[in-house]
Amino acid sequence: MTLHSTRRHLLGALGLGGVALGAAACGSSDPFAEGDGSGGEGGASDGGSDGGGAASLAVGSQAYYSNEILAELFAQVLEAEGHTVDRQFQIGQREVYMPELEAGKLDVMPEYLGNLLQHYDSEAESASPEEIHSALGEALPDGLRVLSFAEATDQDSYTTTADFASTHSLKTIGDLAGVDEKLKVAANSEFEVRPYGPEGVKSVYGVDLSVVPVEDSGGPLTVKALTDGDVQLADIYTADPAIVENDLVVLEDPESLILPQNVVPVVSEKVDEAAATAIDGVLAQLSADDLVELNRQSVVDQTSSAEIAKGWLTEKGLV
């Protein structure tokens, strides 16, 4: 009996030791640790060119699959230019990665016009993409700059079905004013109080509508409400593959009621003119339909971001 309990205690201690070892091994490696290579993506090597002459650059992404695809696009054109690229994907929120950019541990980050501006100027109101872009030039801290912005966006929208759009000849949000029915838009409940919600469309476009709250942030329930005909409009993000999968139409917003979220990279000083030109090449070609299609390949076909990026860049002749 005594031996039995001693063995049990021994096994228990071994088990605890095993768990402790496992926990230590899985322990978070700081992806920004200076060159100590402890697990994960290792550290961003800063300064210094390698033998090839082109600087080594760190390209990051948000914890968002679509953002990672954009980061891959930038990473691959930079590699085609001869740079060594250190990929640091799935970082997280702006509060986490912006300080790293400012500190020079990241060099390229795919961002979105409106959200980036509001990070530095929370009072910023909606304006045209060009205006937001200039405002960013002033709002960003020294050492950081934005390159050109793409046509592709990832923002809230007023989206409808192809049938409804053709029946009522809808192209812009303002065209809704001519529709006879009582208009309902499926969106998160906070849409009700957003500046681009019912109050905004009323004052800017003269359109009356009411919100039917569906709390999945433009997800499958919202899309289904639209395709079922329970609502005529839905707030679906403009880069969502559901738009092409369900033949939906995003209504244009010529008055920029909705804060524009065009894709725009924010870069550090280490990104020189040649690198910037390479990245700008991607943005010049990235249309709204392109981004939806890239996202579709990830969500529906489950292709990896590296493959998706390679395919698109090859097709556009950028690599």
Report, in Å, the least distance between residue 215 CB and other proteins: 5
269 binds other proteins (CB under 8 A): no
Q: Which of 36, 199, 216, 289 binds other proteins (CB under 8 A)?
A: 216
Cα–Cα distance, 85 to 55 (Å, whole number): 9
Cα–Cα distance, 30 to 76 (Å, whole number): 24
Dihedral sign for Cα atoms in the order 186, 187, 193, 195: negative
Query: Which helix (H) or strand (E) segment is 88 a member of?
Result: strand 84-88
Closest to other proteins by CB, 33 or 212? 212
Q: How many residues bind other proteins (CB under 8 A)?
A: 18
Residue 265 DSSP SS3:
strand
Q: How many CB atoms lie within 10 A of CB 61?
A: 27
Q: What mask, x for binding other proteins by CB under 8 A, covers residues 221 to 240?
A: x--xx--x-x----------
Closest to other proteins by CB, 181 or 228? 228
Closest to other proteins by CB, 145 or 224? 224
Q: What is the CA radius of gyration of the chain?
A: 24
Report, in Å, the least distance between residue 183 CB and other proteins: 15
Interacting positions 167-196 with other proteins (CB under 8 A):
186, 188-190, 192-194
Identity of the residue numbered 159: T
Cα–Cα distance, 309 to 76 (Å, whole number): 8
Which listed range, 14-22, 23-31, 213-221, 281-289, lies at the site for other proteins (CB under 8 A)?
213-221
Report, in Å, the least distance between residue 261 CB and other proteins: 18
Q: What mask, x for binding other proteins by CB under 8 A, covers residues 193 to 212?
A: xx-----------------x
Query: Which helix (H) or strand (E) segment is 3 a member of?
Result: helix 2-25
Cα–Cα distance, 258 to 155 (Å, whole number): 8
> Which stretches of the chain bind other proteins, using CB under 8 A?
186, 188-190, 192-194, 212-216, 220-221, 224-225, 228, 230
